[in-house]
A = this chain, B = another copy of it.
Amino acid sequence: MDAVNAANADLVPSYGADHFTRRLQTVASELFETEVCVYPVTTGTAANALALSQIAPPFGAVYCYEAAHIVTDECGAPEFFTGGARLIGLPSADGKIEPRRLAAAIALANEMGVHHAKPAAVSLTQATEWGTVYDLAHLSAVAAVAREHALPVHMDGARFANAVAHLRCTPAEATWKAGIDLLSLGATKNGALCAEAVVFFTPALARDFDRRRKRAGHLWSKMRFLSAQLLAYFHDELWLNNARRANSMARRLSQGLERVAGAKLLHPVDANEVFATLPEAIVAALQREGFGFYRWPWCAPENGVAIRLVTSYATRGEDVDAFIAAAERAARAANAR
């Protein structure tokens, strides 16, 4: 917010020809230890869909996890921006693409030839939709299959900061050194007002991307307000510090949940999301007490209800503890009946 206020003072050229946006290129290139092309946009949906439109032709297939955000939560934006490319969802237990499934899907498409969408790209989410984080070897293994078929690899990094914080590696190791060609870098969930970015690790891949952004209505005239957010985000490791706090709160939350009778974690808690199954009585009690979270429709456990809990840079330890205490009370009350 301070950075946006500061940017307000300046009278600068419009449409991204300002010094904030120029500096962002330098800062991001230093951060990623290679010359990158950074295109700030407003939403994660825009970042993902624009990124995919750059690498998949209208008759192409994009391989991803079957319940990836691009599949379930973007109202068809990838199809819209690509002009009709097909998302081909691969099944997975933990949200991570399995290299052998990817290879099999590509082989099937190639066997079908002209009748089938043409293998065009791979998109993976880091941290995944289940709050798990690919380790670097897994990333490289997925990228290796893609490389074998000359498919570029996109990373949906809506929670990229949380993944890097978990992996304790450099941003470069987490991306292009592991074979990622372009990244949707999310900042909004991690503290920004409305800032995301498409980052190209291969500048040649970015050709004409500025036209795609413009014609999607995502080129701000007063771009400085967007670039300033990202500059502040990267300054002094703010992005990583925010993510570390969110991750540690998620760990605290998951450890607390393990003590609640009837609660069961659904996935390892690597980043800032906790997926758990709880008895309906506890879930209902927590919602009655005003805690805000989703009942998660993408899995249907036999006993109880699946819920998703998300922590952020603004989550406090006492908030987590209050949640756990309420869950334990509800559990006791349920057992007493």
Tell me the A residues contacting B by CB distance below 8 Å: 1, 4-5, 8, 15, 41-43, 45-47, 49-50, 57-60, 72-77, 79-86, 108, 111-112, 114-118, 188-189, 193-194, 208, 210-212, 214-222, 225-226, 297
Contacts and interface: CB of A to CB of B under 8 A. Distances in A.
Nearest to A217: B46
Contact of A45 (B41, B72, B214): B214
A57 to B, nearest CB: 7
A298 to B, nearest CB: 8
24 contacts: A1-B4, A5-B5, A42-B218, A43-B221, A45-B215, A58-B76, A58-B83, A59-B80, A59-B208, A59-B211, A60-B76, A72-B112, A73-B115, A74-B214, A75-B117, A75-B118, A76-B85, A76-B86, A76-B215, A77-B214, A77-B215, A79-B85, A111-B297, A216-B217
Contact of A188 (B60, B188, B221): B221
Given A73-B112, A112-B73, A297-B108, A225 B193 contact: yes
Shortest 7 CB-CB distances between A and B: which pairs?
A46-B217, A79-B84, A83-B83, A75-B215, A59-B211, A45-B217, A75-B214
Given A42-B42, A79-B84, A194-B226, 11 more contacts: A1-B5, A1-B8, A5-B5, A45-B219, A59-B215, A73-B115, A75-B114, A75-B115, A77-B215, A114-B211, A193-B222
Given A111-B297, A225-B194, A77 B217 contact: yes
A305 to B, nearest CB: 13
Q: Give how many copies assemble into the complex.
A: 4
